[in-house]
Amino acid sequence: MKTTLPAATPSDVELAELWEQHLPLPFPDGLRRVEIDGVDLVYLDFAVAGLVRSELNRGLDHPDLAALRTCGAELETVVPQITDPEGRPYFERLRTMARLLAARYVPASDAEQE
């Protein structure tokens, strides 16, 4: 079941811009084969990228939203622990994109309670 989104918002533009910045960047060499608290960083990158592509092309469905919750929680855990000078901004960008995605699907009343 697809969730219906409102007309384009400033966050739509920000998400698209961040995605365009992110696309040409290689995965940071210093983070290959790295796990933080059991989270494989290559897989996390792959999962978030897939969610962003899905959102920009068709929107997220219920399974995507479950994956987004998982990825968002993992990003909140791992980003503060990344010390690699190339890796930190790379994963901060992923976290920002995940936050933008999540904000699009959280009703305003739910967001106010958090």
Q: What is the mean pLDDT of residues 6-16?
A: 71
Q: Give CA–CA dist 96/74, Å, rounded.
A: 13
Res. 111 pLDDT band, cuts 50 70 90? very low
Contact 89, 27 (CB under 8 A): no
More confident residue, 1 or 18: 18
Using the predicted structure, report yes or no on whether residue 105 has a pLDDT greater than 70.
yes
User: Using one digit for the tens of pLDDT, what is the confidence trace for 24-63?
Assistant: 999 999 999 999 999 999 999 999 999 999 999 988 999 9
Give residue 8's pLDDT.
54
